[in-house]
Amino acid sequence: MRVWAAAVIVLTLAGCSDSGSPPGPAAERGRQLYLAQCTACHNSDPAQAGPVGPPLKGTPRAVVESKVVRGTYPPGYAPKRSTSLMPPQPALAPEIPALAEFLK
C-alpha cells in the first residue's frame, strides 16, 4: 500500500512540472531573439555566464527592458557584474515582452 501511495505522489508531482512542456509562442520568439542577438556576450544557456555577460535566466522584465532599451539598470537594482559594456539596443524595444518571457 505504501509503495502504491508513493507512486501516486511521484506521478502527481511529475504532472505538475512544466519543464517538459513546449514554450509558448512568445517564449519561443524570445528564445530565437536571444540566440540571434545576445549570445555574442551571454551564454547560449541563459542560466550560465557568458564570456562577457552574466547569466540572465530569471532576470525581471524591468531590468531586461531598461538594459536593452536604455543601456542602464533600473533605479535601485544591484547588477550581477559592475561592467557597463552592453550598448543600448532601442530597436529591440518591441521584442522585450518575448525576451522577458523566455528569460523568466
pLDDT digits (tens, 9 = 90+) for 45-60: 999 999 999 999 999 9
Does 44 score more than 90 pLDDT?
yes
Alpha carbon distances (Å) from 24 to 48, 63, 101: 22, 22, 9
Average pLDDT, the chain: 84
- What is the domain partition of the chain in residue ranges? 23-74+86-104
> What CATH class does 23-74+86-104 carry?
mainly alpha
Instruction: Give the pLDDT confidence of 1-34 residue by residue, as tens digits.
Output: 554 444 444 444 444 444 566 789 999 999 999 9
Q: How far, rounded to the nearest angstrom, does the alpha carbon of residue 102 sit from its chain's CA centroid?
A: 5
**Which one has a higher pLDDT value, 16 or 75?**
75
